[in-house]
Every structure is written in structure tokens, then in C-alpha cells.
Structure 1
């Protein structure tokens, strides 16, 4: 992707996004993009950025898709493992959530639809499905 101010009118930002299969294809690459305001063409240099799925259900270290995720009509509920699932379940099922956590806590960064009380049953059903998938039966 790339962005720059318009060379004609100064409008910020003229943007362009292109998808490549391989990041080595874009070294020194540039593309033309039209300014949304004055419609003049601008040369925009491209930089490589890693794309993420909309639901962000990927492992941040390996970039692999997570196995513990469940789609709902509002979005995707995903967890890394059993501990993460238990913490999320306790938070969602709480009838009263008092402030006092830091602004950088995990729960403050959850999507609003996930924290809304009207979606509690929907999210808890998704969590129950994740719990069923997580539980492994011992072999005899």
C-alpha cells in the first residue's frame, strides 16, 4: 500500500492498495492513483504491509489461522487456548463489570458487539461451542 499528499491540490491522502502474492515483487514499485478531490493522477510509491483477516483470528507470531474460532452474526469469537477461553467466558458472563482495569487491558480492547449485554447469550453460545471443541477425550 502507499499514500502521499496530492501533488496538484495538496489533498491528504492519495492512497493505493495492491495485492501481491510475494513481497519481493514490490521492491521499488510505484503505481498511479487519482486524487479523490481534484482527480489528477499521482505517482505513489508502494510499501509492503502484512494483511490480516478481518476477524484478526491469526497467531501473531507464526501468522497461522487460529483453530479455536466461532463465527456469529456480529463477528468472530476467537481464543488462543483454554486459559484465554476461561477468562473470556468469565468476563462475558459477568452481570456487572466494574471499571478499574487499565486502559491497556485485554478486555477494554474487545469489540463493542462482544461486550454488549444484548449479545451475551449469542457470545456465550459461541464460547460453549469453543469449549466443546477444546475438550479432548482421554484415550484408554
Structure 2
């Protein structure tokens, strides 16, 4: 298990800021292959299967599409493709295409598409499950990215925690009691180490 080397009996000062102050991306489960995908607030991209949403340059409904063919086949393995609507539409030379990852062979390709509509509830990628989370003491421990993970390790791993110069309810001040409890300290740090190991295995780099 991967662990960061922290000074013995080190002191930590609350760095201030809310949770969104730590890192600029959130790692989520890719809706196509379920591996780690990066969300930057406007797009989601997966480095494993190539799933990518389109940046917010047009109204969101313009980005949803489905294969035009009534019986679309993978251009690589010739197996049937799922015709459900996806937020991966793009225009190429004035024509609409939708990016699909074949569930049979794993190859990703752009296919001729027709305009679709987002599902009820709006931007489905916003509710994608966080990738870096685990269970600790019957609770869910999660981080958005490596900067968030580092900040929690530094703060929760400290023997002495001090308030920083920023007043108000910072992220550290808002942490739940079970995370800050001394009785759970080792469990929480082990949980964070598990998340770090998972991040390394998936190639998460920020």
C-alpha cells in the first residue's frame, strides 16, 4: 500500500479554502468503461476508452445524439452498437457524429448521428460517481483529486492541528467529526493510502 512520508508528530495549519479550492478536476467513473475519467466542470474525458463530452460552446441539448442507423454495427468487430443517446456529439465537415465505445471489442469510433435530447435531470455527467472513494468506519471517505488527497493527509495526519489565517468555515473546519476523531485517525489515514494506491494504478496524475 502506498503511503506518503509525513514528519513524525508534525503540526498542520488549516490552509483555508473550500473543497473546490483544492485542484481543478474531479475524477469520476467513466459512463462507458467505468474506469477513471476526468471532469473539469464543463467536459468529461476518459483516457482509457476515449469517451469525451463536448465543451460548452453550444446549448447543451445540441451535444446529445444517437446513431442514425437503425442497426448500427461496430466498424471494427461488426457487433451491434447501443443506440442510446450520448452527450458525445460533434460536427465534422458540417455533419453530425457521435462517439461510441464498442462494449464488445472496446474500440472507440465516431458514427453518423441524429440530434438527441439530454435525459430528464439535465447534465447526467454531473452525477457521475466519484472514482476516489472508499469505506472507513462505516462512512464514505472520498477525495476529488490528488491535491484534495494531499491536503487531507497533511491535516488529518497531524498530531497538532492549528487554525489558519482564513476565518470561517473552511474545508477543514467542515470535515465531519468521524474524520477528525483521534480514535479514527489511523483508519482514515489507511483509507487515504488506499485511495492514493488506486490513483497510482489508474494513472491519475492530478
Q: TM-score, normalised by structure 2?
A: 0.36
State yes or no: 1:96 paired with 2:160: yes
Structure 1 residue corresponding to 2:147, chosen from 83, 100, 104: 83
State yes or no: 1:69 paired with 2:112: no
Query: Counterpart in 1 of 2:173?
Result: 108
* SS at structure 1 position matched to 2:126: coil
Query: Pairwise CA RMSD of aligned residues?
Result: 2.1
Q: Any residues of structure 2 matched to 1:1-140 within 5 Å, and which?
A: 62-100=126-164, 101-136=166-201
Compared CA separation, residues 137 and 70, structure 1 to 2 (3 A): closer
Q: Name the CA distance, whole Å, in 2 between partners of 1:78 and 1:137.
A: 16
Q: Name the CA distance, whole Å, in 2 between partners of 1:128 and 1:72.
A: 12
Compared CA separation, residues 137 and 81, structure 1 to 2 (3 A): closer
Q: CA deviation at 1:137?
A: 7.4
CA contact (8 A) 1:74 1:113 kept: no
CA contact (8 A) 2:137 2:184 kept: no
Q: Deviations over 1:66-87 (max 9, x none)?
A: 0100101241110001110000
Q: Per residue, is there more strand in 1 or in 2? A: 2
Q: Name the CA distance, whole Å, in 2 between partners of 1:125 and 1:112.
A: 17
Q: How many residues end up aligned between the 2 structures? A: 79
Q: Name the CA distance, whole Å, in 2 between partners of 1:71 and 1:131.
A: 14
Q: Which has the higher contact order (CA 8 A, sep 6+)?
A: 2
Mean Cα deviation higher: 82-91 or 95-104: 95-104
Q: Name the CA distance, whole Å, in 1 between partners of 2:128 and 2:167.
A: 29
Q: Per residue, is there more helix in 1 or in 2? A: 1
